[in-house]
Amino acid sequence: MNYRITHRTTYHYSSPVAVSHHAARLRPRDTDTQRCLEFSLSFDPEPDLLTEHTDSFGNQVSCFSVQKLHTHFEVISRSFVSLMPVLQPDPLQTPPWEAVAAMFRDPVPVDLLDPCQFAFGSPLLVPEMPLRDFALPSFTKGRPILAATADLCRRIHREFAFDPKATTISTPLNEVLEKKRGVCQDFAHLAIASLRAMGLPARYISGYLRTHPPAGKPRLQGVDASHAWASSFVPGFGWVDFDPTNNCFTSLDHITVATGRDFSDVSPVRGIITGGGRHTVGVGVDVEPVGS
């Protein structure tokens, strides 16, 4: 499956901005089942400085600076991505979750040092006891890790309501757990922190989700979503991505952009400005299938 993706982020300021600095993680990653064949960025106004580097998680980061007065700023990324089917292990044939957790206690084998970094707390996530209590019904004694993870995914989908007005980017996870409402970022964070509370590695994935119009209706432009999901490490197989918002393992509808410990590592566009007064941010995503 191939996709053309357009991601538009627009800032409007109530007073002029003298200088703005931004960092963007917008280029879809290359993985075993995904290839980014084309990628470009365009800007309005054009930045005075543009650099690129790869961060410690393997994400491409574009850094740009506008050093002239401006009252709006827009960055548009355009990508052409090819996806192959994702092969998933049989959840019932994966190791018991306790055996996996034991692998990430000192001393950790050298070949597990990379996933080990995702077994601990991170800037936005602390694996506290309430999260362990929430996870425990899924992680019964001897249960295969991927079967337990799938059950956790189902419970989040069943017990939590999708509500864009219930949370913001800064809403703490304990409030999400209490209100049982939130959005994809919250549900991904909840799944990740719950796994870590059980001593298991889990990482955050940002990307895009292709949406499907109702039967007989045309696909509308700009209604696809910037999305977030989670990933669980399965020894002998690797990382397995799952989407608690939609209660599924990832498929050809999920396009991976960036990977990190939590949202703070993978924010699509973030920045700092001098001046600007009040500001508004608009984001639009279009995921267009173009055949296989």
For residue 126, the model assigns a pLDDT of 87
Dihedral angle sign, alpha carbons of residues 83, 29, 43, 264: positive
User: CATH assignment of 91-265?
Assistant: 3.10.620.30
Give the right CATH number for 2-84+267-289 from 3.30.460.10, 2.30.30.30, 3.20.20.80, 2.60.40.2250: 2.60.40.2250
**Helix (H/G/I), strand (E/B), else coil: 17:** strand
- Low-confidence residues of the chain: pLDDT under 70: 213-225, 292
The Cα-based distances of 252 to 56, 59, 210 in angstroms read 26, 21, 9
pTM, rounded to two decimals: 0.93
Distance CA 42, CA 29 (A): 19
For residue 222, the model assigns a pLDDT of 45
Distance CA 80, CA 6 (A): 9
The Cα-based distances of 137 to 131, 144, 148, 165, 199 in angstroms read 11, 13, 9, 29, 15
For residue 124, the model assigns a pLDDT of 93
